[in-house]
Amino acid sequence: MRVNHAGELAAQALYHGQALVARSAATREMLLAAARSEADHLAWCETRLNELASRPSLLDPLWYSGSFLIGAGAALLGDRASLGFVAETERQVEGHLDEHLHRLPPADARSRAILETMRAEEIAHGAAATAAGGIRPPAPVSALMRRTARIMTGSAYWI
């Protein structure tokens, strides 16, 4: 659950960074709405971490600041590229959550319910971004996003 918490913190920061640089009010509002949803996910993960007598990653300030800068950078490419970045982020998060759901002990119904709800909402964020005109990032960008996420999730698991 620590990895999911770190991911939700990073997603919230991405969307805050993107909203800061968004060119249209409609795109900015969509990004801020997604960030509010990620804040809910973050709270659910934090509550579950407390229930499991665990803690968030000690690297959370790094995840937030780095993700904020990445989000702002993506938004500098324009709203369509920024929305495409949202869709790709959520597509990758969906895969990450699928992996976590697969590895989750069957008896952990509480964590499963949280992750399944988050998964459905992440899919909706990605679909909304695509419907709003998001364009898919180039393959090397998607690959870099996957590598960056692996580094973050691997680090967050331990630290």
Widest CA span of the chain, in angstroms?
Answer: 46
pTM of the model as a whole: 0.92
* Mean pLDDT, residues 89-117 taken together: 95
Give the integer Cα–Cα distance in Å for 56 and 60.
7
Amino acid of residue 55 = R
- Which tens digit of pLDDT belongs to each residue from 126-139? 999 999 999 999 99
The count of C-alpha atoms lying within 13 angstroms of the C-alpha of 80, restricted to the half-sphere facing its C-beta, is 3
Fold of the 2-158 domain: Ferritin (1.20.1260)
Q: Which of the four pLDDT bands, split at 50, 70 and 90, describes residue 63?
A: very high
Work out the mean pLDDT of the chain and round it to a whole number: 95
Domain ranges of the chain: 2-158
Percentage of residues in the chain having pLDDT higher than 70: 100
Amino acid of residue 6 = A
pLDDT at position 56, please?
A: 96
